[in-house]
Structures are given as C-alpha cells and as structure tokens.
Structure 1
Amino acid sequence: MTEARAVNPWLAAASQTVQQQALRDFAQAMANFFRGPHRRPSWRRAGRHEGFRVVAVKPGDVRRLSRSSGEVRVPKVGWVRFRWSRAVPEGVKSYRVTCERAGRWHVAFAAVPDPVPAPGNGAVVGVDRGVAVSAALSTGERLHAPRLRESEARRLVLLQRRLARCKRGSNRRWKVRSAFARLKARDADRRRDWVEKSTTYLAAGFDVIGIEGLDVRSMTASARGTVATPGSRVRQKAGVNRGILRSGWGALAARLEDKASGRVVRVDPAYTSLRCSACGVVDREARESQARFSCRACGHTGNADVNAARNIKTAAGRAVAAREGPCISGPVHREPQSDLLLST
C-alpha cells in the first residue's frame, strides 16, 4: 500500500487508514470463503455497495449537536453532519459510511446490542412463514409485511418500462434509475421496520420461539438453468421467489436469533402444513385452500397457516422439553387408520 501510494498521487490523496482497512476486509472475506459457506468476493459494480469503513475511532470523533443531529469526523473530509436517529453506544471503535442506490448516505457505528431479555413466563410460540401471510403465530395472530401502495406499485411498473426504453449511459436513464431506486428503497425500509418491530414483539413476549428450518437461499434460487439444460416454469418460480423475498423470511429468522439468542428453536418443516394440530393426523387433502384447513379425521377446521404454526409450536416445545424440562402439551401423533390418512 505504501509503494502504491507513492506511485499514484490519486491514491495518496485518500486516507491510508481507510485503504488498509479495505484490504483487511478483503482478506477476511477470502478467508471466510475458503473456510466456510460464504460466497467468493466479487468485483464491486459502480453504484452498488458504495462506502468505506473507518476504524480506531476516538471518543471525540462523534458528538451530538442537538436532539436530532450529530457530527462524525471522517478522515480527509472533516466533520460531517448526520441525523441522530438513535443513541451512539459507548466505546464504539469503528463505523461504516455507505451510499445506497437511492443516493442516500448512511453512517453505521459498529456495536453489538444486547439480546432482548426473556419475559420468564414459560410461553412458547410457533411462527409459520408464508407468502400470503408473512408470519402466522400459534396464538392466532397473522402478521403481514407491508408492501407498496397500489399507486406506488403502478408507478414502479411504469418506471420499469421507462428504464427498458432508455439508452444505456444517458442522463435520462440515470434519472429514471434513481427514481426507481428510491421507490424500491422505500419498500425495503418498510419491510425492515416491520421485521424489527415483529421480532422485538416475539422476543419480548415469549420464552421459546419455534420457526421452520428453511433454507431460504436455496428456495429462492433461480430456475432458469443453463443453455444446455434450461429450466421449466421459470416465470412461475420467479413469482414465488419475489413473494418469499417480499415477506422477509430470512431477515425475520436472522433478527429473531439475534434478539432471542438461545431461545429460537428450528424445527423440521416436513408436514407442518398437512398435520392437524388437534389430533396429529397427516392428510394431504386436509388443506382445502391456501387459508382453510379441515381435518377429515377429527373435524377440526381453522386457518391453515395458524394450524401450521401450532404444529411448529408443539415441535419446538418437545425439543425444549427433551433438552431442559417437562414436555409441553400438544397433539399426539397417530398412525393412519384408513386410506384417507396418509403417511407422515
């Protein structure tokens, strides 16, 4: 780095601390790739993940100006004002400055928050993630991730059509792309806000939280295939992928494990939507529609997503009981007794 800065004046004009940290981050990313399931680092495209990280932050490098504004000292730049959205934790050693596609700049201080304390009420809840209902709880509650309003959705389609007609590299394309990015960022902000509020509600209200052990990355992989072996039903699969990503499945599970550390139980998702939560019988014909479940063995009827969430709760309770204490009550599984009842 020292030799490169001596040869290139444009490189020497920037902060050496930031450049060295970028090399350390790249080395760590490569080490993670060779050691674990992380993806290989790729070349960054212009306008994507713009930003840099600053380490060795001193106590005087961050100061509050008013109730809603503060300043941070950026190397080679000086004091930069930002909106004080939350208190900066004591003892932060680094922060990252990023610019998203919508053109908004953010500063994030590196600090690991404490998990949400358990309520101590012994309550267990099952969470079934879906597309029509983003998260159905075993208590009967159904949580829906916010989406764009109808007028915003129409504008999004219009901007997509305009973007397709724009010439690459033109000023018009840049303006349309920026407007499109701002609308998408608004959608993502609402989804992140919903995830944070929903996970805090679950972590603060229940001692044990059961969720399905789903591999969201594999479930949302493209079905296009290759030129030699093209995929089938690609457009239908793409629609399902958009629905899953729009519901925030991965973010919901990740934030739950952060806030309720050690209290999240991942259960086997097999047959959770086909098993009756009242009698434990599995019947492929019991789920009459996306929202209705009707057991032909005991006559139990109800919302299909809530029924699946109750099965998840039962499985999570039994997993905790086998590990820590007495079993939590739930339906006992019964073997099929007729040709109407299918195998588990």
Structure 2
Amino acid sequence: MLTGRRYLLAFTDEQAAYAEKVGAACRAVWNTALEQRREYRRRGAFIGYVEQARQMAEAKKDPHCAWLADGPSHTLQQTLRDLERACKTHGTWKVRWRSKARTAPSFRFPDPNHIAVRRLNRRWGEVRLPKFGPVRLRWTRPLDGTIRNATVSRSGGRWYISFCVEDGVAEVAPNGKAPIGVDRGVAVAVATSDGDPYDREFVTLGEAVRLKRLQQRLSRSRRVHGRNRRSSRRDAVRAELARLNAGIRDRRADFAAQTAVRLVRDHGLVAVEALRIKNMTASAKGTAEQPGRNVRQKAGLNRAILAKGWGGFLLKLEHAARYHGAEVVKVNPAYTSQTCHACKHIARESRESQAVFRCVACGHQDNADVNAAKNILAAGLAVTGRGDLAVGRSVKRQPPERLAA
C-alpha cells in the first residue's frame, strides 16, 4: 500500500534560499497556468497540460523568464500536472490561487530515480535532490519501502520532506472485532459508544495568551506597500505566529493519529458521521441586504470545531483502518444527538446541555456524546446489514425470511 513518511530537513542557508525560489517559481507557474486556463474558457476554447508544458519550455529560453530555468524542471512540470488534476476534479473556476502570504511554499519531485536516501547515523540521514545536492534530514523512522515521489514543504518556519512510499503491505483481512460508534464533538473531541472520551488540550494557557498578544501586534503592525518594500517587524510577528501555530497543529495531528490507531486496532467497524465540515464552519455574516444573526457566536463555534481537527481525525482513521483490518462507515448525521438510544424518540428538548441527555419520553439518561455515539453505531450497523456502501445511497431492506431461506 502507498503511505507517507515525513522528515525534518536541515537546509543550509543557501539551500533554504534556493527552496524559497523554487517554491515561488512553482506558485507563479500555478497562478499563470490557472489564469491561462480561465482565459481560454472565457473564449470558449481549452488548453491542457501538454500545451502548457510546451509553452513553459519555450518560456525558459526567454531572457526575461530565466528564473524558470533556475528551478528543477520536473517540479515545474509536476505543478502543471497537479493543476490539471485539480481542474478535472473541481472545475477550472473553483480551483484556488496560490497566495504568497497564505500559501506555504511546496514542490514535488515526481521521479524516484532522481531521489537517493541513505542513513548517516542514529539521528541523521541524507537525501540527494536535483539541483539541491545532499540535504541532511532528521532520521526519526526507517522508510520501509520503495520511494515513489517526494514533496518538500515549509511549515512553521521549518522545511520538511514527505516521501510517498510503497511499503509492500498487502490488503489486510478483516479483524472480526467488535464494532464501535464515534461522535466528534466540541467539548470532547472524540466520544465512543463504549463510553470512553478521547480529548486533550492542544493549546496551553500560556500559549493562548501569546497567541492573542501576537495577533494584536500583527493587526497593529504597519503594512508597507510598494515594490520590493516589506515590513520587517510585521514579518517577524508572522514568523513567530507561524512557529506557535505549527506546534499546535503537530499536537492535534499526533492526538488524531494515536486515537485513530487505538480505535481501529481494537474494533472491526468504526461508524462516524458524514459531516460536511466546510458547510458547518461557514461564516454567518450574510450580506449587506440580509445581514446574519448571532455572527460572533457562530464564529466562536466555527473556531471550536476547527480547533478539534474533525477532518484530520477522519483522515487518520481511514488511513489506519487499512493496516488493522477495520472498516470505517459514514452514516447520516441527522438527529443523532436528539434521538434517545433506548426508545428512539426524537426531541430537541431531550438534550438538556452539552453533556446531559435525558429523554422526555422514557426518562433514559446518559452522557449526550455517548448517546449520540450509540445512535451512530446503530446507524452504521444498519448500513452494513442492508449492504449499503455509503451515506446517500438507496436504503436496501433485508430479504424476507421465506426468500432468505
């Protein structure tokens, strides 16, 4: 199976400056090619990867575009391939621009023949990349597979390399263990139908104070406009904010990975809600004609949802399930938090608070998140029992006994 291996790079100052140039070139190629595709669409025409790659090769010969020839050619071509795939998947008009301020620089080396990795000692290894030469990396785990490609990216002021590896592991047979339901929440990140909560604080109290102060300093720092003019003080604040947020993201990813492995290792089926997180965290500001209501409350809820990393947890869960013989089933999230698991009565009033669920019909009392997880498990078992494959498919019934016999 294909999997990923991520390592911290120890660039020299020259290599780090060159990586910034390559990342900027890939961003410029992406934005230029996207604008070209949109312009062709406006005229009712079409341009694809082959023609754009040919034009880029011609542009490298132009003295005004000499910066294109400075970067590895395969990384620029891979940028065009990634754009081609994004346009086919999402549509030309829905693909986003790559911003210099908001998009971290990254580029991919698609040819494994140009990538050589060796271990130097217990702590360090070395990777050879085209036009970079030997680069030291922090050896935290063996590769355990064949390299397919490598992606270099910057996060929190540090550079990382991610290898796509074919580890040689075949499809794992179902483990046959007991099923479980999982409810993702705001107060508790993950609650299971067995009654086990999984949660941790990703931001310490001191870090929360530092984040607020840095955001205030960033909002008050001066933006310098004009060609080749930048505010060094604003850049320093942004770099400090990036380092702090990178540590928070690492804790969130570590929690998601560990929790996912625990669940799929001990259970054969994990039922989760098919939540549309992008729609759930949309802003409530509205428009000038129809302004939104409870905007500040909705903004706080959006921050709380994103802080728990629901999407990252589901991604880690599906990845870990492949190696432990578990199945991840997504169910319809409608009324899972308002339904009594004991009598199936649906009432909004039954959920008295964030943690307390007391059925207004039968009086059943339970933790609200655990009750929701039990409903999710029941829905997941119903989906697998009917032979359905995913949420939104047709509801198939069990065959009658006389036909089943």
The two structures have a TM-score, normalised by structure 1, of 0.86
**1:316 counterpart letter in structure 2:** G
Distance in 1, Cα, partners of 2:337 & 2:243: 37
The structure with the greater share of residues assigned to helix is 2
Which of 196, 200, 206 is the equivalent residue of 2:261? 200
Which of 252, 258, 265 is the equivalent residue of 2:319? 258
| Structure 1 residues 51-91: Cα deviation after superposition (integer angstroms, max 9, x where no partner) | 21112123871111112211111211200011112222422
Larger CA deviation: 39-48 vs 134-143: 39-48
1:110 pairs with 2:164: yes
Distance in 1, Cα, partners of 2:345 & 2:264: 31
Which structure 2 residues correspond to residues 50-65 of structure 1 after superposition, within 5 A? 50-58=105-113, 61-65=116-120
Which of 106, 130, 151 is the equivalent residue of 2:185? 130
| Structure 1 residues 5-31: Cα deviation after superposition (integer angstroms, max 9, x where no partner) | 111333222222222222222222222
Which of 359, 368, 372 is the equivalent residue of 1:308? 372
Q: Report the equivalent of 1:240.
A: 301
**2:165 counterpart letter in structure 1:** A
CA drift of 1:236 comes to 1.2
Which structure 2 residues correspond to residues 250-289 of structure 1 after superposition, within 5 A? 250-261=311-322, 263-289=327-353
Contact kept in structure 2, 1:118 and 1:204, CA below 8 Å: no
Which of 48, 61, 67 is the equivalent residue of 1:6? 61
CA drift of 1:185 comes to 1.0
Contact kept in structure 2, 1:145 and 1:247, CA below 8 Å: no
Contact kept in structure 1, 2:112 and 2:149, CA below 8 Å: yes
Larger CA deviation: 130-139 vs 60-69: 60-69
**1:313 counterpart letter in structure 2:** L
Distance in 1, Cα, partners of 2:115 & 2:166: 21
Task: Give the fraction of aligned pairs with identical amino acids, expressed as a percent.
Answer: 42
Larger CA deviation: 186-195 vs 296-305: 296-305
| Structure 1 residues 136-179: Cα deviation after superposition (integer angstroms, max 9, x where no partner) | 10010011143211111011111111111111232111111111
Label 1:141 to 1:162 Cα distance change in 2 as closer, same or farther (>3 A): same
Contact kept in structure 2, 1:118 and 1:206, CA below 8 Å: no
Contact kept in structure 2, 1:117 and 1:260, CA below 8 Å: no
Distance in 2, Cα, partners of 1:127 & 1:197: 15
**Structure 1 portions without partners, runs of 5+:** 325-344
Which of 362, 368, 372 is the equivalent residue of 1:298? 362
1:217 pairs with 2:274: no
Query: Which SS does the other structure have where 1:148 is aligned?
Result: coil
Q: Report the equivalent of 1:342.
A: none
Which of 91, 108, 112 is the equivalent residue of 1:34? 91
CA drift of 1:323 comes to 2.4
The two structures have a TM-score, normalised by structure 2, of 0.74
Which of 194, 210, 213 is the equivalent residue of 1:155? 210
Distance in 2, Cα, partners of 1:112 & 1:93: 7
Label 1:127 to 1:39 Cα distance change in 2 as closer, same or farther (>3 A): farther
Count of residue correspondences: 321
CA drift of 1:96 comes to 0.5
Query: Which SS does the other structure have where 1:214 is aligned?
Result: coil
Distance in 2, Cα, partners of 1:89 & 1:59: 19
Contact kept in structure 1, 2:177 and 2:266, CA below 8 Å: no
Distance in 1, Cα, partners of 2:386 & 2:57: 58
CA drift of 1:229 comes to 3.3
Contact kept in structure 2, 1:69 and 1:83, CA below 8 Å: yes
Contact kept in structure 1, 2:115 and 2:129, CA below 8 Å: no
CA drift of 1:117 comes to 4.7
CA drift of 1:39 comes to 3.9
Query: Which SS does the other structure have where 1:260 is aligned?
Result: helix
Cα RMSD, aligned residues only: 2.3
Distance in 1, Cα, partners of 2:69 & 2:273: 51
Label 1:122 to 1:4 Cα distance change in 2 as closer, same or farther (>3 A): same
Contact kept in structure 2, 1:115 and 1:260, CA below 8 Å: no
Contact kept in structure 1, 2:352 and 2:358, CA below 8 Å: yes
1:86 pairs with 2:147: no
Contact kept in structure 2, 1:223 and 1:233, CA below 8 Å: yes
Contact kept in structure 2, 1:64 and 1:71, CA below 8 Å: yes
